[in-house]
Structure 1
């Protein structure tokens, strides 16, 4: 059963604000935000990992001095939620797709293989949002992590499984899941890697599917057609390796210039800018000694009237300190030096 609604959570705490950044909202203890998206009306959606299976929302973040995260929906079938992506407008009603499953440990990334499912949350013009299960995914799905919609193929989404080391394709109408629609060595965990996480995040941009591999600290791209299928014979090419700038790589987005902004997670706790033409990368905000963005996980640009130059960063918490909690940080990109 899916529960909709919930009580308000903690308000903003802003001890480490800079001219370009501030804590938008602080969540209760033992919360961990994994993925973030912004609705057409400007509201923020954020998924929670391991400590709860909630979707939190922040309403009109650019319109209020003090912001509160509220529980929009809970998914008791699983104990963790991961990637979330907006479905194309041609789908009809405003809708997002997300994945969830069961973890037994977050510190060692221990999952219950086969427990992962795909869900859709729909926002009717009138009434409360509706959450529905789309698919049980594959029985050997071990860590479905990042997800992305396909602009010209609204009936399908792509799902990156970080333990399988491949990207799958899910048909939203039938629930059929091809777990290895994209399978390359660049998506897997190399032997001897310190971090056993393969392909984790991906985005469609023009004729390419971009994807990141935290174990190699690299971003790649591979050519696809307009429906998100691999071009015959296409092979991944390296966009950037950020290991010399930041020892971490999580989710990423494209800025208005078509370059990449990525969250580095722990221990770097920073946002890195990547020039997609040259491959050069640069830390632009945060860092190991900066407690503003502990375990930065994902980011998304605002869509309201006053925050189109602002990107929002979801965070986990200080993983060694259970008294800390997740937060959402607002960063004014116009004040950053790339």
Structure 2
């Protein structure tokens, strides 16, 4: 296992203030944080203490943090100092049962273009972000995914298999498994036709997001605009002979599909990217989908990318949405949106 200490520090840059998380009677969503011009957020996670972490793609290799957004009338974004060996960060997930200290796993690499998703072959790495008991943050490089991985995207830890992480590769169209204790990476731990890029796809992107829930691994493919599930055991290994089954096709509701989460009822809330710029609710039993926040003519969440529910006393019904920006308009910037799920209309 390759481990390289990089070091990290927190710098308060006081980005743009947001107000208290109290949606008006007219809307369930509001802008929590507006970042500077040129920023693009890719993934979002929430710490045990309620702080938000968000990774930055292409325009800077930063991890932004928002301290207890539910507790302050005005929220600000701070920067965890960048890791200079890559220019982009992607998926992030908490390693809940492996480390004594609070630790997150994330992936990053180099992009040369975001409009057509051109990456630098051999540049992708896996990292951990650890918060000591005193609150200090440290980053370590824990694995070189190159040259095996060409576009690692979403990541998820496996709580009952400590030290094991699943990594989506959107160009390969498969899900890999990384053992952090040995550094061994199997790039095709899950490889199905439903994960691949179909012929004629506008962008060469297959499976882009995944979550584990119960006995299933759920995954989404934006090129087919579909979410599937496949049966796994408690340690996140594929059940012998299991095949993916369709959960929902959202093409009639929204033309995009990115990361997703499960709500308190066990149904799916997913980000749709541009041009839909919306959040879609998917009933996992019926497959019925409905746009519940945003939309192509709503400027609230340009290129929504990822979601995460709050973990504080006062925001368990709030989920936070990271956004990119309008690719064709460089004057736009990333945001973090707060959405009150308790008043959404499903």
Residue 66 of structure 2 aligns with which residue?
58
SS of the residue corresponding to residue 190 of structure 1 reads coil
Equivalences for residues 1-338 of structure 1 within 5 A: 1-12=6-17, 18-338=26-346
Structure 1 residues 154 and 129: alpha-carbon distance in aligned structure 2, compared to 1, 3 A threshold: same
- In the superposition, the TM-score normalised over structure 2's length comes to 0.95
Report the alpha carbon displacement of residue 27 of structure 1 after superposing the two structures with TM.
0.7
Report the alpha carbon displacement of residue 136 of structure 1 after superposing the two structures with TM.
0.4
Structure 1 CA distance, aligned partners of 2:254 and 2:224?
12
Structure 2 CA distance, aligned partners of 1:280 and 1:194?
25
Greater shift in the superposed pair: 86-95 or 122-131: 86-95
Q: Is the 8 A contact 1:138 1:179 kept in 2?
A: no
Q: Is the 8 A contact 1:9 1:28 kept in 2?
A: no
CA offset digits 1:66-105 (Å, max 9, x no partner): 1111102311110000000011235321110000000000
Structure 2, unpaired ranges of 5+ = 1-5
Report the alpha carbon displacement of residue 155 of structure 1 after superposing the two structures with TM.
1.1
Report the alpha carbon displacement of residue 2 of structure 1 after superposing the two structures with TM.
4.0
CA offset digits 1:199-250 (Å, max 9, x no partner): 1110000000000001100000000000000000111110000000000000
SS of the residue corresponding to residue 6 of structure 1 reads strand
Report the alpha carbon displacement of residue 195 of structure 1 after superposing the two structures with TM.
2.6
Structure 1 residues 135 and 90: alpha-carbon distance in aligned structure 2, compared to 1, 3 A threshold: closer
SS of the residue corresponding to residue 186 of structure 1 reads helix
User: Number of matched residues?
Assistant: 337
Structure 1 residues 13 and 126: alpha-carbon distance in aligned structure 2, compared to 1, 3 A threshold: closer
Report the alpha carbon displacement of residue 133 of structure 1 after superposing the two structures with TM.
0.6
Structure 1 CA distance, aligned partners of 2:110 and 2:197?
21
Q: CA RMSD in A?
A: 1.4
Structure 2 CA distance, aligned partners of 1:127 and 1:288?
40
Q: Is the 8 A contact 1:169 1:178 kept in 2?
A: yes
Report the alpha carbon displacement of residue 187 of structure 1 after superposing the two structures with TM.
0.5
Report the alpha carbon displacement of residue 3 of structure 1 after superposing the two structures with TM.
3.7
Q: Is the 8 A contact 1:25 1:67 kept in 2?
A: yes
SS of the residue corresponding to residue 11 of structure 2 reads coil
Structure 1, unpaired ranges of 5+ = none
SS of the residue corresponding to residue 157 of structure 1 reads strand
Q: Is the 8 A contact 2:18 2:75 kept in 1?
A: no
SS of the residue corresponding to residue 266 of structure 1 reads coil
Structure 2 CA distance, aligned partners of 1:242 and 1:127?
42
